[in-house]
């Protein structure tokens, strides 16, 4: 199953009956890039954790999950029903009653990190994608994933969205780095980013892990993201069999959660 449905076209009565877990991308789905969830989203997200298991699956590092989500949630959040999967599911955190404990982390070796960083920098400069005007560093080591950001890690959302709207630049860089590093997974990440990790580490892996660990089918997982077209970093969730729902940004997600909450048991 690899069908993607636009959020306003979903049969929400059927979705509420079928879904046993609601999974979300983070940047430009639950929150603006690198920014905390707004109060309205915090309120809906909190209510959702008390009604159904909720997962956050993001290409970003764990520290961003903390600043964008955990730091703004209140004590009434259903933490025991929350699943945090940063770096595209190559790490997984659960609440153990006192702390957020790391269930697993598929970290890269020191040698792998050096080789990946060298390839990303060399190929980006060869292709003219190493932008001199940048907001922060171009390359970030996230432990289980190395991420190249053409405009820097802290680039504003409008600049990111305008840089490569048809993904042509990212596809060229992915192909070049993949040729250097065939033993690793190289994929387009966000609007300006390319991610490199161990093989198989994308959002389809996260769906399979959640399915196995919770004893539910992939088709009982709703996955919501803003980059659900083929080639987008949320699309692998659809390929894994999740009920894939596309949004254009957090405002759509707010409306989506409202429709789901109306139909879930209180």
107 marked as binding residue = no
107 flagged as catalytic: no
11 marked as binding residue = no
Q: What backbone torsions phi and psi does residue 245 show, to the nearest 5 degrees?
A: -125, 125
CA 166 to chain centre: 19
- For the residues of 36-101, what is the DSSP string, one character each? PPPHHHHHHHHHHHTTSEEEEE-SS-HHHHHHHTGGG--TTS-GGGEEEE-GGGTEEEEE-SSSEE
226 marked as binding residue = yes
Does residue 123 sit in helix, strand or coil? Answer: helix
Beta carbons within 8 Å of 213's beta carbon, 6+ residues apart? none
The encoded tokens of residue 42 equal 């915090």
119 marked as binding residue = no
208 marked as binding residue = no
110 marked as binding residue = no
- The span from the CA of 154 to the CA of 33, in Å, is 9
Residue of 27, 53, 202, 252 marked catalytic = 27
Residue of 25, 202, 234, 252 marked catalytic = 25
27 flagged as catalytic: yes
Residues taking part in catalysis: 25, 27
Which amino acids are annotated as binding site, given as ranges?
A: 25, 27, 142, 193, 195, 226
Which amino acids are annotated as binding site for alpha-D-mannose 1-phosphate, given as ranges?
A: 142, 193, 195
Which amino acids are annotated as binding site for Mg(2+), given as ranges?
A: 25, 27, 226
């Amino acid at each position: 199953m690899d069908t993607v449905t636009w959020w306003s076209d979903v049969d929400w009565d059927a979705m509420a009956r079928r879904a046993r877990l609601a999974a979300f991308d983070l940047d430009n789905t639950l929150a603006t890039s690198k920014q905390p969830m707004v109060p309205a989203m915090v309120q809906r997200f909190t209510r959702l954790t008390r009604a159904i298991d909720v997962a956050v699956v993001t290409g970003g590092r764990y520290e961003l999950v903390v600043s964008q989500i955990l730091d703004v949630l209140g004590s009434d959040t259903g933490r025991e029903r929350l699943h945090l999967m940063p770096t595209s599911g190559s790490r997984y955190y659960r609440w153990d009653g006192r702390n957020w404990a790391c269930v697993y982390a598929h970290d890269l070796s020191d040698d792998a990190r050096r080789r990946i960083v060298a390839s990303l920098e060399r190929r980006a400069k060869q292709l003219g994608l190493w932008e001199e005007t940048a907001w922060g560093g171009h390359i970030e080591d996230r432990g289980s994933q190395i991420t190249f950001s053409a405009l820097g890690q802290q680039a504003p959302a409008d600049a990111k969205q305008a840089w490569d709207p048809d993904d042509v630049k990212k596809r060229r860089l992915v192909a070049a780095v993949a040729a250097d590093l065939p033993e690793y997974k190289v994929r387009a990440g966000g609007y300006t980013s390319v991610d490199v990790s161990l093989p198989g580490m994308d959002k389809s892996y996260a769906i399979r892990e959640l399915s196995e660990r919770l004893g539910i089918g992939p088709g009982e997982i709703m996955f919501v993201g803003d980059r659900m077209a083929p080639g987008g970093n949320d699309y692998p969730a659809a390929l894994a069999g999740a009920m894939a729902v596309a949004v254009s940004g957090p405002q759509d997600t707010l409306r989506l959660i409202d429709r789901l909450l109306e139909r879930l048991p209180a």
